[in-house]
Chains A and B, each alone.
Chain A
Amino acid sequence: MTEPTVVTPQTIIEFKKVTKAFGDNLIYEDMDLLVRKGETFTIIGGSGLGKSVCMKMMIGLLRADSGEVLFNGEDVGALDDDGLRRVRRKVAYVFQGGALFDSMSVVENIGYGLREHAADRRTVTDELVREKATTCIEMVGLETTVLDQLPASLSGGMRKRVALARSIALEPEVILYDEPTTGLDPKNIKRIGDMIRKLQKELRVTSIVVTHDMPMARKVSDRVAMLYEHKFPFVGTVQQMWHSKHAEVRDFIHGTLRRPPAGQPVAREGHHGA
């Protein structure tokens, strides 16, 4: 069922006994998780259970109530502002809605991180930013004509790709994708899935994907973890997950899991209660 959380030289991100709650709403309890360098790791689970919370803890946007969130062996929760900047230079986050800055053009959005992380901002000229933005935009399959447009004039799919371009501008080691295909049509879903795989190969990044999109998860993932009852009890390769004997995994992947009230066992189609 669960792979042992053995620390290997290739571990890039690790959660150790992490607990996180928002008031009375418990999200994680003694949660362990391990992500290997270079893999595409997908997190699946029911809506509203806290998958995005897990990703936000990886870069310190949220802090665990207890336990450790390690990036390259360093506890993200214990880092100061400079330490977090260092981590965020290496770990890029692609937000669910893109989170592009409305008042800035595409080129300014892509250049934002470049300017913030520059040791001397004067070295990051407008020409340098445009050159980098052009490279990134072409990498995500967009025309350079979008560079001077505002996000409001772009379609949903284009905004997601610009958000991806913004994330890769700093050449990160890890890219976090928060529901990358939500709200997109099938053509753009395929495009995003292809892009995740392409970036993994070309930039040699570790990719962590939160998604409900099972076909896409199957296509892009090396390993999959399913969030269930505040932990990740089910972690495995795509083959292992898709042929899992565990009813909870099977039911979720094939769309038959119904989340029970607290304290009651999982209800499955064809079964009636405990």
Chain B
Amino acid sequence: MNPIERFGRIVVGGLEWLGGIASLFARLLVVGPRSPLGVDDIAAQMVHQGVKSLPITTFLSLFIGMILAWQFGWALKDFGAVQALGYASSLALVCELVPTLIAITVGAKMAAGMTAELGSMKVTEQIDAVAALGADPIKKLIWPRVVAATLAQPLLVVWGNIIAIFGGMLIAEWVYGVPAGYFYETYIDELKPIDYFCSLTKATTFGVIVGLIGCFHGFNTKFGTEAVGVATTQTVVATSICIIIADFYLTMVFF
């Protein structure tokens, strides 16, 4: 196969993939809101995806806050402006690092879990069984997962932002001698309502991406145990790429 043909196949494959995701999203918007909403299923997924991701979110956010504060502090020290550490850290953490890094790590974990679970159901014909027993697999299996991911991501980001401030406060106090309380006040002072909105908008968008991609790859898993592994790997890659691209566009919108 010559390079042009190979490139063409990649482009066509990418367009087919995007079409599949868009088609799934459209179908979800039609069947999802129909009664019953499936609140019990959504709640169960919120616990499975969101609550069980709290420990890793806490760990990551703490270190994100500490690392960023340390690096910013190091740069500000040269200018004798280390007291501005709170001002400098806030926007980067709230609007960028916390929502994006949580989405790429925790979100990709959620997506991979969805792909593995749905992919296993696909290869054992359980998805066909759902349909054969009179239920809509998209409503029963995908809708609760996508909704849960969409709701869980912003909630995890809110928690992550709180923990990240705490991490920054620790480094400000211990490493640079900036009082933790002063760091906190300057941190909050720098942020405007639009910045919180930016953080939550990114988180919600990333949640939709995580849910859609995770479920799409699970539903389209080919048969065989190897296929489940392949699909899960593809999910992690696709989720990461799409989150970064979405992050870029959302950053352009807000800044």
Chain A positions within 8 Å of B, measured between CB atoms, are: 56, 59, 61, 81, 85, 88-89, 92-93, 95-97, 99-102, 112-113, 116-117, 121, 166
Whole-angstrom distance between the Cβ of B95 and the nearest chain A Cβ: 38
Query: Are B134 and A99 within 8 A (Cβ)?
Result: no
Whole-angstrom distance between the Cβ of A135 and the nearest chain B Cβ: 18
Measured between beta carbons, the chain B residues less than 8 angstroms from A88 are 131-134
Q: How far is the CA of A101 from the CA of B141 in the complex (A)?
A: 12
Among residues of A, the one whose C-beta sits closest to the C-beta of B139 is A81
Measured between beta carbons, the chain B residues less than 8 angstroms from A117 are 134
Query: Are B133 and A116 within 8 A (Cβ)?
Result: yes
The 8 closest A-B pairs by CB, nearest first: A99-B129, A113-B133, A116-B134, A99-B125, A93-B132, A116-B135, A95-B125, A117-B134
Query: Are B136 and A99 within 8 A (Cβ)?
Result: no
B126: Cβ under 8 A from any A Cβ: yes
B3: Cβ under 8 A from any A Cβ: no
Chain B positions within 8 Å of A, measured between CB atoms, are: 36, 120-121, 124-126, 128-136
Query: Are B125 and A96 within 8 A (Cβ)?
Result: yes
Measured between beta carbons, the chain B residues less than 8 angstroms from A95 are 125, 128-129, 132
Measured between beta carbons, the chain B residues less than 8 angstroms from A89 are 134
Q: How far is the CA of A88 from the CA of B124 in the complex (A)?
A: 19
Query: Are B134 and A85 within 8 A (Cβ)?
Result: yes
Contact of A61 among B36, B128, B135, B136 (CB under 8 A): B128
Q: How far is the CA of A81 from the CA of B121 in the complex (A)?
A: 21
Q: How far is the CA of A172 from the CA of B171 in the complex (A)?
A: 68
Query: Are A112 and B125 within 8 A (Cβ)?
Result: no
Among residues of B, the one whose C-beta sits closest to the C-beta of A87 is B134
- List 16 additional A-B contacts (Cβ < 8 Å) besides A61-B128, A116-B135: A61-B132, A88-B132, A88-B134, A92-B132, A93-B129, A93-B132, A95-B132, A99-B124, A99-B126, A99-B129, A100-B129, A102-B124, A102-B126, A113-B133, A113-B134, A166-B133
Measured between beta carbons, the chain A residues less than 8 angstroms from B134 are 85, 88-89, 113, 116-117
Measured between beta carbons, the chain B residues less than 8 angstroms from A99 are 124-126, 128-129
Q: How far is the CA of A85 from the CA of B128 in the complex (A)?
A: 13
Among residues of A, the one whose C-beta sits closest to the C-beta of B120 is A102
Whole-angstrom distance between the Cβ of B54 and the nearest chain A Cβ: 22
Q: How far is the CA of A101 from the CA of B124 in the complex (A)?
A: 9
Residue of A59, A92, A112 with most chain B CB atoms under a 10 A cut-off: A112
A-B pairs with beta carbons under 8 Å apart, 6 shown = A92-B132, A96-B125, A99-B126, A102-B124, A113-B133, A116-B134
Among residues of B, the one whose C-beta sits closest to the C-beta of A103 is B117
Whole-angstrom distance between the Cβ of A116 and the nearest chain B Cβ: 4
Q: How far is the CA of A117 from the CA of B131 in the complex (A)?
A: 12
Query: Are B126 and A101 within 8 A (Cβ)?
Result: yes
Q: How far is the CA of A257 from the CA of B61 in the complex (A)?
A: 65
Q: How far is the CA of A166 from the CA of B125 in the complex (A)?
A: 15
Contact of A59 among B36, B124, B130, B132 (CB under 8 A): B132
Measured between beta carbons, the chain B residues less than 8 angstroms from A85 are 134
Measured between beta carbons, the chain B residues less than 8 angstroms from A102 are 120-121, 124, 126
Whole-angstrom distance between the Cβ of B129 and the nearest chain A Cβ: 4
Query: Are B133 and A97 within 8 A (Cβ)?
Result: no
Among residues of B, the one whose C-beta sits closest to the C-beta of A60 is B131
Measured between beta carbons, the chain B residues less than 8 angstroms from A121 are 36
Query: Are A61 and B126 within 8 A (Cβ)?
Result: no
Measured between beta carbons, the chain A residues less than 8 angstroms from B130 are 101
Measured between beta carbons, the chain A residues less than 8 angstroms from B36 are 121
Measured between beta carbons, the chain B residues less than 8 angstroms from A112 are 133, 135
Whole-angstrom distance between the Cβ of A181 and the nearest chain B Cβ: 17
Among residues of A, the one whose C-beta sits closest to the C-beta of B140 is A116
Query: Are A97 and B125 within 8 A (Cβ)?
Result: yes
Whole-angstrom distance between the Cβ of B154 and the nearest chain A Cβ: 27
Q: How far is the CA of A267 from the CA of B131 in the complex (A)?
A: 41
